[in-house]
Structure 1
Amino acid sequence: MISDKPSFDPTYGYSLESLLRVGWPEEPGDFVDFWESRYRRTLTIHPDPEMTRCKGDHPDFDVYDIGYRSTDGFIIGGWLLKPKREPIRRGLVVGHGYGGREAPDFDLPVGEAVILFPCFRGLARSRRPPVPDNPAGHVLYEIDRRDRYILGGCVEDLWLAVSTLISAFPHIEGHIGYLGISFGGGIGALALPWEPRIRIAHLNVPTFGHHPLRLTLRTLGSGEAVRRYERRHGSVLETLRYYDAACAARHIHIPVHVAAALFDPVVAPPGQFAIYNALAGPKSLFVLQAGHSDYPEQREQERELLAELRTFFEPL
C-alpha cells in the first residue's frame, strides 16, 4: 500500500463512466500464433513438483513448501495448501503482486480446494540472478528481446503451476481457477486465453493493460520504469504490443471477475478498465474506491468483495 500522497492525480481525470469507455490497442497480426505456440512448447515440460511439509500447524490447512520446474531451467518456489477437514474437489492458482509474497493466504473465499501460491521467476522464492528482484528492474529485464522478455516467462510459470496441480491431484482437472492481484492480475490476463485448463478467474487491479496509454500516465509502480525506458530508447512498444493484457483479454472466454479501482497511483485505472472492457466472455465488475492505497471504505469493500467471490467461484 502507498502511504505518501502522490504528486499527481491517481484518477487521471477519469470518471467511472469514462473508464468504462476505455478501449484497447490493436494487437499484432501474429499475436494469437505467438502465444499459442508458446503454450504448446511450455506444455512439453513436466514440472516434477517437490513438496515438503512445513513446520508448525494451521487449524484448517496442511502447508507445504513446493518447487517445480519451469521453462529456461527456472525452479519456481512457493507454497501449497491442502485442506485438513474438507474433500479436495477443485484447485486454485494464486498470483502475487510485484512486491512478491512472503507467505500463503489462508482466507481465500473458495473452500474444498487445494491452493498453489507460486512465486513468479525472479521474485520472492523464485529469485535467480541476474534477474532483478525489484519491480523497476524486473519489468525491464530483456524487454528489448520479444521472445525472451521476463513477462513471457512468468506466464509460462503460471501455465506450469496448473500442470503442477494436475500432476499432484489429477482428479481436480477441469475444476481449476485462478486469482491474481496487480502484477499477478496482468500475468493472469496474458495467460488465460491460451490455457483451457483454467475454467474461471478473478483479476484484482490488474496491470499491463493498454501499454500505449500506460506510457502516457505517470505512476509510482513498475510502469514508471517502462515510461523512462521508452523516453531513453523509444522502441519499447515493439515488445510490449505482444504483452498487452487488454489485447489478451479479447481472447478470454471463461467467466472473469475483475476488481478495478477508480483511484490508483501504482496501476493507472484506465489500464485496469481496458482489460475489463476488452473481456470477450462472461464478466463481472467490482468497483474499488482505490487500489494500492489505504482508504476509509477499504475494510467494508474487502468484505463485500470476498462475499462476491464466494458466490462467483462456487460453480468451479
Structure 2
Amino acid sequence: MPAFAHEFPFDPTYGRTREELLRIPAPAPPADFGAFWQSRYEAARAVETAPEVGALVEERDGVRIFEVTYLSVGEVRLGGWLVLPAEGPAEHGFVIGHGYGGRDQAGPDVPLPLPRSAALLPCVRGMGTRGLVPEIPSVADGHVLHGIASRDTYVIGDCVADLWCAASALRELVPGLGALGYAGGSFGGGLGALALPWDDRFGAAQLTVPTFGNHPLRLTLPCTGSGESVRTYHRTHPEVTDVLRYFDAASAATLIEIPTLVAPALFDPAVPPPGQFAVYNALPPGSPQPHILQAGHFDHDGTETELKALSEARAGFFAQHLTDGEA
C-alpha cells in the first residue's frame, strides 16, 4: 500500500489492503431501485433538448471547441462545451462528466479519448459557471445535500438526468454517431455509474475514482470531500440512509452491462477508496480489470506518470470497445 506523507487527521487508505479493497461488496438496492431509475430515464429521454451551439472557444489537439447549451429535465437550460473534429466527420462520440466543482473550460478533457471524435462536456445543474441554477448551491458541500430529504427531490437524480440529456443533445448535433463512450472522474464517475445501466446508447465507459459507492460504508469513513457533508447531515437525520440507497453507485454498477474500465485509488482523502472499489467489485464477471491508482485527489511525485498511464489505458480501452480494435 502507498505510504504518502500527509497531514490529514485520518488515514486515506482507511486501513484496507488492496486485497481487502477488492472484496468490498455493493449494498443491496431497494426493491424498486430499477423502477425508480427507469422512470427517471424515460422522463429524460422525453425532453426536447433543443441544443444551441455558441461561439468557437478554441482550436487545438485536432478539434474545435464550441460553447453549447441544451435543455434538461425541469426545463433547466445547461451549458457546456461541444468538441468536434477540426477536419472531417466525427466517427465516435463521448459524453464526459466532471468532478465536484464543475468545469469552467474544456481543459484537460481534451484531447478526447479517441481521435476523430465528437464530445459534449456538460456542466450538470449547480456546477461550474455554465451549470449555475439560482436555487442550487454551487459548492460541493451544499450541492450534495440539495433536496436530499426525498429521493424525488435529491439533486443527484437530476444531475444523472443531465448526462442523459447531454447524450440526446450530442446525438442531435452530430447525427449518425454509433454507440457512445462515457468518461467521468470522482463526481462524474459516480454519476456515470448511476446513469449507465438504463441507457443503451452507451457502448463503453471509463470511471475514475468514482464517488457514491457503498453509502452505508461511506457514512462511517471521514473524508475531505462531499461525503463528509453527507456524514454530518446523517448524524441528525439518520433517515437519509433510505434516500441514499437509491443513489448508490455500487448498487447501480451491478446492473451495468457494457464494458467499463474503473480506475480506483488505494489512497484518497476526498473519496474513500472502499467506496471506489465497491463500484468496481460490483461489475459483472468478465469486466475489464481495474486500472488501480496509487492515489486520488492527492498530488505526489508519481501523479504525472499515473495520469499519463491512465490516459493511455483509457484510449486503448475505448479503441477496443468502440472501434472494433481500430484506434
Q: TM-score, normalised by structure 1?
A: 0.96
Matched, 1:177 2:186: no
Aligned partner of 2:303 in structure 1 is 298
- CA-based RMSD of the aligned residues comes to 1.4
The separation in 1 between residues aligned to 2:80 and 2:240, in whole angstroms, is 31
**Cα drift, residue 17 of structure 1:** 0.3
Q: Which 4+ runs in 1 deviate beyond 4 A?
A: none
Residue 19 of structure 1 is matched in structure 2 by: 21
Structure 2 residue identity aligned to 1:123: M
Structure 1 residue 53, shift from structure 2 partner: 2.6
What is the correspondence of 1:239-250 to structure 2 with a 5 Å cutoff?
239-250=243-254
1:201 aligns with one of 198, 202, 205 = 205
Q: Which residue of 1 aligns with 2:325?
A: none
* Equivalent-residue separation in structure 1 for 2:295 and 2:190 (angstroms): 18
Q: Which residue of 2 aligns with 1:132?
A: 137
Question: Where does residue 314 of structure 2 map in the other structure?
Answer: 309
> How do residues 74-93 of structure 1 correspond to structure 2 at under 5 angstroms?
74-93=76-95
Which aligned pairs between 1:46-61 and structure 2 lie closer than 5 A? 46-58=48-60, 60-61=62-63
What's the CA shift string for 1:234-275, capped at 9, x where partnerless?
111111000000000000010000110000000000000000
> 1:66 corresponds to which residue?
68
Aligned positions of 1:1-316 closer than 5 A: 5-58=7-60, 60-104=62-106, 105-124=109-128, 125-172=130-177, 174-280=178-284, 282-314=287-319, 315-316=321-322
**Cα distance change of structure 1 residues 246 and 63 upon mapping to structure 2, 3 Å threshold:** same
User: Is the 2:145–2:230 contact (alpha carbons within 8 Å) kept by the matching residues of 1?
Assistant: yes
CA contact (8 A) 1:256 1:284 kept: no
Assess if the C-alpha contact under 8 Å between 1:260 and 1:287 holds in 2.
yes
> Against the structure 1 CA distance between its residues 306 and 56, is the aligned structure 2 distance closer, same or farther, given a 3 Å change threshold?
closer
- Provide the identity percentage: 47
* Greater shift in the superposed pair: 106-115 or 157-166: 106-115
Once the two structures are TM-superposed, the CA of residue 86 in structure 1 deviates from its matched residue by 4.6
Taking a change above 3 Å as real, the CA distance of residues 92 and 238 of structure 1, as seen in their structure-2 partners, is same
Structure-2-length-normalised TM-score = 0.93
Gaps of 5+ in 1: none
Q: Is the 8 A contact 2:61 2:111 kept in 1?
A: no
The unaligned stretches of length 5 or more in structure 2 are 323-327
2:33 maps to amino acid: F
Distance 2:30 2:61 in 1: 49
Number of residue pairs the alignment of both structures matches: 313
Q: How far does residue 107 in structure 1 lie from its aligned partner after superposition?
A: 2.4
Instruction: Give the match's secondary structure for 1:289.
Output: strand
Q: Secondary structure at the match of 1:156?
A: helix
Q: Is the 8 A contact 1:53 1:62 kept in 2?
A: no
